[in-house]
A = this chain, B = another copy of it.
């Protein structure tokens, strides 16, 4: 049995079909937008890619590096990433098994775009927090 092939771990739910009909505003051609967004849109995927930035990591190392993630979601996200060709998985049949995950060239090019987003986040984080305070204040007195 191939790993994870039939358990309930990876629900293969049908993706939202908004790509097929579509308002021109988002959806000019096909819908690659869906493809990106559904993946970085996974709360953990982008974090994992970012974590693999400088060096490949093993499952447990990743689990420690992204503290809040559950093993289940880590496995699932890793699998999606592997499936899409953004990372590769190498199993070393050592004493205790070792599995190494590393970004593919495509994964690395994706990473660069993620990083530009991260840079934006770092720049704008103060402004965002300020906006939040203003918003809460306006709401409290309402």
Residues from chain B with a CB closer than 8 A to the CB of A4 are 94-96, 98
Complex Cα distance, B60 from A40, in Å, reads 27
Count A interface residues, CB 8 Å. 87
Question: 0/1 per residue, A102-142, Cβ < 8 Å to B?
Answer: 00001001100110111011101101101110111001001
Complex Cα distance, B39 from A124, in Å, reads 13
Copies in the complex: 2
The reply to whether B47 and A118 contact each other, CB–CB distance below 8 Å, is no
The reply to whether B56 and A33 contact each other, CB–CB distance below 8 Å, is no
What are the 5 A-B residue pairs with the smallest beta carbon separation, nearest first? A85-B131, A36-B121, A32-B121, A14-B65, A18-B50
Residues of A within 8 A of B (CB): 1-5, 7, 9-18, 20-23, 25-27, 29-30, 32-38, 40-43, 46-47, 50-51, 53-58, 60-61, 64-68, 82-86, 92, 94-96, 98, 100, 106, 109-110, 113-114, 116-118, 120-122, 124-125, 127-128, 130-132, 134-136, 139, 142
